[in-house]
Structure 1
Amino acid sequence: MSVPLLHLQDRLTRLSIAPELGASLVNWQASATGQALLRPADEAALASGSPRQLGCYPLAPWSNRIAEGGFLRPDGWLALAPNTGHDPYPIHGSAWQQPWQVEHHSERRARLSLDSALPFAYRATLDIHLHEGCLNIDLHVTHQDSAASWYGLGLHPYFPRHADTQLHAQARTVWLAENEALPSRQAEIPDHWNFAKPRTLPTTLVDHAFSEWPGNCVIEQPGAGYRLVCSASGAEHYLLFCPHEQPFFCFEPVSHPINAHHLPGRPGLRLLQKGESTSLGFRMQYQPL
Structure 2
Amino acid sequence: MTTNAQTTTLSAGPARVTVDTGRGCRLSGLRVGGLELLRQGPTYGSFPMVPWCGRIAEGRFRNGGETHQMPVNHPPHAIHGTGRDVPWRTVRAEDTFAAFTYELADTPWPYAGRVTQMAELAEDSLTLTLGVEAAADSFPAQAGWHPWFRRNLGTGGDVQIDFAPAWQEERGDDHLPTGNRIDPRPGPWDDCFGMPDGVRVTLTWPGALELTVTSRAEWVVVYDEQDEAVCVEPQSGPPNGLNTLPRLVTPIDPLEISTTWTWRTLA
Cα 1:105/1:181, change in 2 over 3 Å = closer
| Residue from 196, 199, 204 that aligns with 1:220 | 204
Shift of 1:259: 1.0
CA distance in 2, matches of 1:111, 1:232: 19
Letter in 1 for 2:131: H
- Unaligned runs of 5+ residues in structure 2 are none
Instruction: Choose between structure 1 and 2: higher strand proportion.
Output: 2
Contact 2:202 2:211 in 1 (8 A): yes
CA distance in 1, matches of 2:28, 2:232: 16
Letter in 1 for 2:54: N
Greater mean alpha carbon deviation, residues 156-165 or residues 105-114: 156-165
2:167 match = 173
| Residue from 230, 236, 255 that aligns with 2:213 | 230
CA deviation string 1:142-162 (max 9, x = no partner): 01242x211111111111113
CA distance in 1, matches of 2:172, 2:36: 38
CA deviation string 1:23-74 (max 9, x = no partner): 010111113xx111222x2xxx2xxxx4x23x11111111011114411112
1:286 match = 263
1:277 match = 254
Say whether residues 1:188 and 2:182 are aligned partners.
Answer: yes
1:198 match = none
Shift of 1:76: 1.6
| Residue from 222, 230, 250 that aligns with 1:240 | 222
Secondary structure of 2:24's aligned partner: coil
Aligned length: 255
Shift of 1:164: 3.6
Contact 2:127 2:259 in 1 (8 A): yes
Kindly report which structure 2 residues correspond to 1:84-99, keeping only aligned pairs within 5 A, or say none: 84=73, 86-99=74-87
1:256 match = 237
Cα 1:191/1:66, change in 2 over 3 Å = closer
| Residue from 15, 18, 21 that aligns with 1:19 | 21
Cα 1:241/1:272, change in 2 over 3 Å = same
Greater mean alpha carbon deviation, residues 124-133 or residues 72-81: 72-81
TM-score (norm 2): 0.88
Secondary structure of 1:62's aligned partner: coil
Secondary structure of 1:184's aligned partner: strand
Contact 1:24 1:57 in 2 (8 A): yes
CA deviation string 1:213-257 (max 9, x = no partner): 42222111114x110123113x2110011124x110100001111
CA distance in 2, matches of 1:109, 1:181: 37
CA RMSD of the aligned region, Å?
2.0
1:197 match = none
